Amino acid sequence: GPKVLQIPSHQIIDMGQMVTLNCDPVSNHLYFYWYKQILGQQMEFLVNFYNGKVMEKSKLFKDQFSVERPDGSYFTLKIQPTALEDSAVYFCASSFLGKDTQYFGPGTRLLVL
Amino acid sequence: QQKVQQSPESLTVSEGAMASLNCTFSDGTSNNFRWYRQHSAKGLEVLVSIFSDGEKEEGRFTAHLNRANLHVSLHIREPQPSDSAVYLCAVSASNTNKVVFGTGTRLQVLP
């Protein structure tokens, strides 16, 4: 099926530093998403992005989080500054239309020390 | 706020025996349901999508939806050891593209 790539696969960072997670979505998809999964817990929606704008976000999408997709390149999630509770696996997803199947990447494992 | 619960939490079946997984949701306006599975340390693989009451089959995977009962199930015919994974129910309400995932069922298929 369609492939979503995520870079890096793992990231270890000190608390307070900035981190950028990169997602290469399916090429013709228009909607982009980030989800967060803490070890052993449910996957939770963070944000939905379309046409250069955040369409929906959850309470987990703190002020320290931001997303962008400059000029059709990577769809990124930036956390600045990071906190210990940001340690999780972050999954990127994309879909062609908003209600279509979302295709997921393999995740980026973020550890904040 | 949408709540999505799955049962059982874990399930062990023998190769070839039908596996049945359940999912209940709380928002009666939900109209978009998918089953995904997640192998360890990998991304999610979509298995079947269903949008109206009744049954939808994709290969060995069949979803049943009963919106009046706020229930969607997944049945896996002739499961194989390679089907061992965590199965996730994913639900969207009509007024949002946000997907709410269930708590997951860990399936183990024994040879």
Q: What is the strand order of the sheet B4-7 is part of?
A: B4-7, B19-25, B71-76, B61-66, B54-58
Helices H, strands E: what count in chain B?
Answer: 0, 11
Give the gap in angstroms from C-alpha A40 to the nearest C-alpha of chain B.
10
Give the gap in angstroms from C-alpha A17 to the nearest C-alpha of chain B.
25
Mean pLDDT of B58-76: 97
In this prediction, residue B94 carries a pLDDT of: 81
Count of CB pairs separated by less than 8 Å, A with B: 46
Q: d(Cα B35, Cα B101) in Å, to the nearest integer?
A: 9
∠ at Cα A36 (B50, B62), nearest 5°?
Answer: 20
Chain B residue numbers touching A54 (CB-CB < 8 A): none
Per-10-residue mean pLDDT of chain A, 113 residues long, equals 92 97 95 94 94 94 96 92 97 92 94 97
In this prediction, residue B41 carries a pLDDT of: 66
Alpha carbons within 13 angstroms on the beta-carbon side of residue A70 total 3
Mean pLDDT of B29-37: 94
Chain A residue numbers touching B32 (CB-CB < 8 A): 99
In this prediction, residue A35 carries a pLDDT of: 96
In this prediction, residue A71 carries a pLDDT of: 80
Residues with Cβ within 8 Å of residue B68, at least 6 apart in sequence: B53
Give the gap in angstroms from C-alpha B101 to the nearest C-alpha of chain A.
6
Which residue has tokens 């593209």?
B97
pLDDT digit string, tens, across residues B39-62 = 876 789 999 999 999 999 999 999
What is the phi/psi pair of residue A86, to 5°?
A: -80, -10
A72: nearest Cα among A23, A39, A108: A23
In this prediction, residue B95 carries a pLDDT of: 82
